[in-house]
């Protein structure tokens, strides 16, 4: 069968051979639904769908210009990873109010996508274990990813606080605590060494690095191979245990 002028393969070959702007526009128009479909796949409500569709459309144009039919792969097989990668880079570079490591960003988006898919299938929100099984990661990694996802957009301190136990109408600013020197007092006690023995090795090291060597949470994370948010969670848990033991 002879390929016609409307055959996508013919149009792509013509464009790659002559770089005809009219042929290029025809190809982009033909594959634009594919780009929009990919944008909707990544849409979670954190970023406007229109922005994601624009990123996807620009990536499609670049894919059309860079495609080489001589390599034998179908254009769609080439375009899909190009468009998906552009959308992921958009989330990484522009979507986060708080800077999060790239690996953690990608894991957070992955967990969020699985959570949306699982929730769409059932009436109840998926459990941490269900998400861990779907994403092929540990439960702790799921919790860290969920915490990281909250950094996608910063909340206003003047926003009404919810599910915090505060009176109705209280803002997030009202939930912030006052400076507390109790941690320093706790660590100044003569029984500190015996208290630290109540902790596991990892938690003990974190407490000593933070309070004795005065390293930041980010510095501790780099030294131990954890994210700053994970160190923060471990530190809060360890200090809470020390407070209970010392009480």
User: pLDDT 10s digit of each residue in the chain, 247 long?
Assistant: 333 444 445 566 665 555 667 878 888 888 999 999 988 888 766 678 888 899 999 999 998 888 887 777 788 888 898 998 888 778 766 665 556 677 877 888 788 888 878 877 775 778 888 888 988 988 888 888 887 777 665 555 555 555 445 555 565 555 554 555 555 555 554 456 667 778 888 988 888 888 778 888 888 988 888 888 888 888 888 888 887 776 6
At residue 152, the pLDDT reads 61
pLDDT of residue 17: 53
Note the pLDDT of residue 212. Answer: 77
For the range 28-35, what are the long-range contacts, defined as Cβ-Cβ under 8 Å and sequence gap of 24 or more? 28/57, 28/60, 28/61, 28/64, 31/60, 31/64, 31/75, 31/76, 31/79, 32/57, 32/60, 34/60, 34/76, 34/79, 34/80, 34/83, 35/59, 35/60, 35/79, 35/83
Contact 42, 52 (CB under 8 A): yes
Q: Which domains does the chain have, with CATH numbers?
A: 8-94 (1.10.1740.10), 97-177 (1.10.10.10), 182-246 (1.10.10)
Task: Centre a 10 Å sphere on the Cβ of residue 152 and count the other Cβ atoms it contains.
Answer: 20
Query: SS3 for 80?
Result: helix
pLDDT at 36: 92
Q: Is the dihedral of CA 232, 234, 237, 238 positive or negative?
A: negative
CA distance 199 to 28: 60
pLDDT at 167: 53
pLDDT for 7 equals 46
- C-alpha to C-alpha distance for 70 and 72, rounded to whole angstroms: 5
Task: Give me the pLDDT at residue 35, please.
Answer: 92
**Cβ pair 151, 98 in contact under 8 A:** yes
Note the pLDDT of residue 190: 47
Task: Map tokens 């953690």 to a residue.
Answer: 104
| Residue that the structure tokens 């894991």 belong to | 107
Q: Would you state the pLDDT for residue 94?
A: 64
pTM of the model: 0.41
Q: Which own/partner pairs from 176-183 qualify as long-range (CB within 8 Å, at least 24 positions apart)?
A: 182/243, 183/211, 183/239
């Amino acid at each position: 069968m002879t390929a016609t002028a409307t055959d996508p393969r013919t149009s792509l070959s013509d464009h790659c051979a002559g770089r005809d702007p009219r042929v290029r526009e025809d190809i982009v128009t033909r594959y634009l639904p594919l780009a929009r479909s990919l944008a909707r796949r990544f849409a979670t409500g954190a970023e406007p769908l229109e922005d994601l569709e624009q990123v996807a459309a620009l990536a499609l144009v670049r894919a059309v210009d860079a495609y080489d039919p001589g390599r034998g792969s179908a254009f769609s097989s080439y375009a899909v990873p190009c468009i998906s990668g552009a959308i992921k880079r958009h989330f990484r570079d522009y979507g986060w109010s708080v800077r999060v490591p790239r690996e953690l960003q990608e894991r957070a988006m992955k967990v969020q996508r699985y959570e949306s898919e699982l929730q769409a299938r059932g009436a109840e929100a998926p459990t941490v274990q269900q998400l861990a099984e779907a994403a092929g990661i540990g439960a702790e990694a799921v919790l860290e990813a969920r915490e990281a996802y909250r950094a996608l957009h910063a909340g206003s301190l003047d926003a009404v606080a919810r599910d915090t136990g505060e009176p109705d109408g209280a803002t997030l600013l009202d939930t912030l605590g006052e400076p507390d020197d109790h941690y320093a007092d706790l660590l100044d006690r003569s029984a500190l060494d015996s208290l630290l023995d109540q902790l596991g090795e990892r938690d003990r090291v974190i407490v000593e690095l933070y309070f004795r060597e005065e390293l930041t949470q980010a510095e501790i994370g780099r030294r131990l191979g954890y994210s700053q948010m994970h160190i923060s969670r471990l530190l809060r848990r360890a200090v809470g245990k020390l407070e209970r033991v010392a009480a």
